[in-house]
A and B are shown apart, each in its own frame.
Chain A
Amino acid sequence: MSFFTSDFIFGHLNYWLFIILMMTGLYIVIGKGNLVKKIVGLNIFQTSVFMFYISMGKISGGTAPIFPLNGKYDPEVAYSNPLPHVLILTAIVVGIATTSLGLALIIRIREEYHSIEEEEITVIEDTVFRSEHLVVASQGEPL
């Protein structure tokens, strides 16, 4: 198949890394029952997007986009695009806020449920749910 040439594989290396990291992260979020692991997965998922953006700003042969102080810049020089880096700086801050909030919620969940495993929490919630409904049903029964 001419599709999978070495050019196709190595020319898109940043995309492959992005896809592998993104899928790893999403798998951990969905597949793992431990809430802390879910947060770690979410972090990997977000990091993949950071890498995607930053690799997008790189121009082959491009240098750091610093404007010379004397104002005489060489039009021949290629500069990398700084904007994706700046955008990702904001996204990293958002990611940190999300992580810390997620971990804080896990602490509160552990205080209330004494567990951070999704399976165990679901069992506890089922019990609460059933008991609520049994109470409602028995109150509604005509004597």
Chain B
Amino acid sequence: MATQTVHHTAMTLSDHLPILQILIPFIAAPLIVFIGRRNLAWPIAFIASTASFVIACLLLSKVIGGGIISYQIGGWAPPLGIEYRVDAANAFVLFLVTGIATLVLPYARQSVEAEMPQRTQTLFYALFLLCMTGLLGVTITADAFNVFVFLEISSLSTYVLVAQGSYRDKRALTASFNYLIMGTIGATFFVIGLGFLYMATGTLNMADLADRLSGQYESRTVRAGFAFILVGMGLKMAIFPLHFWLPNAYTYAPSAVTTFLAATATKVAIYVLLRFIFSVFQPAFLAETSTLEIHILSISFAGHVCRVFYSNLPTRPKAYASIFKHSPNRLHAAGHCLTFRNWIDGYDYSPLQPWHH
């Protein structure tokens, strides 16, 4: 399935669009740091994000009819080499991430000048682009371990971006620290899950994984791997019982950061989970193991209920008060939970579904 060998001879620029999608923000970020001039930082960031947006539009227009673009990094054919694979589902996510970034940046300029000291403003734009690189990389790659690497690029820059709110409210620091702890636990769970899948199959390419997993749905290794990936991505996307880091992080982050992250970061995590549930594992796997999800969700829900009761003790009213105070965030998290249950129940895979709330 994934072993067609196409040699990269005489490629035009348009053939390199998938890698340019990642490289443009990735190179622009250190460029901003090296130039180090505050008045140039915003224009570079805006140009890079606009260029990425144009590329995302071009990619979307190429695959919207159902085509697939497979890009082999360094000419190494998958499954050995790392492959970038663009189809209608992730081209839409690329379009969304770059589009939101391009929309947020003009507004971010005012927000950054108002909310941050001058010395950190240049670095803010570099981090913003790095975060965007990570999110785009997670979306475009077809290599499961590459997902983890890009996920951590975006997450690490997100922790710093959230902490930038500390000049307005010092609680951004603790929010960022909690986010770092929860995010790292989530990412590590995801890696454990990948380890189990790698043990069972010996491959990390998603299409190849799907091929080799299809006969092994009874294997405990594969099921454990799926459970770890589910919980890990659940933490990253703040799915309902695992959402404790989200309200504080989004409340105390600079407003431009919240606008960008709320519209992209958790959605990209949803995309990864969708990709794993519907491409790497087939819906047949879910049908066989439907009890698995119900157990995980009910156990974590029970944990959530326990925490609500504990939090009524006078020592910790604040965490819950903030969830209830910022009810849009709470609805946001509950919305994740509901959409997630819809996917599980109906296997209704529409790329538009995560974006409806």
Contacts and interface: CB of A to CB of B under 8 A. Distances in A.
Interface of A is mostly: helix
Interface in B153-184: 156, 159-160, 163, 166, 170-171, 173-174, 176-177, 180-181, 184
Contacts of A98: 152, 156, 180, 184
B185 A101 contact: no
B251 to A, nearest CB: 11
A56 B198 contact: yes
Interface string A71-114: 00000000000001001001100100110011001101100110
A105 to B, nearest CB: 5
B3 to A, nearest CB: 18
Chain B interface extent, by class:
20 to 34
Contacts of B316: 122
B163 A113 contact: no
Name which of A35, A105, A108, A119 has the most chain B CB atoms within 10 A of its CB.
A105
Interface string A49-84: 100110010000000000000000000000000001
Contacts, number: 81
Interface residues of A, number: 33
Contacts of A102: 177, 180-181
Nearest to A128: B171
A121 interface: yes
Interface in A111-143: 112-113, 119, 121-122, 125-126, 128-129
Given A56-B199, A94-B156, A112-B166, 12 more contacts: A45-B185, A45-B188, A49-B191, A49-B192, A53-B191, A56-B198, A90-B145, A94-B149, A98-B152, A105-B173, A109-B173, A126-B318
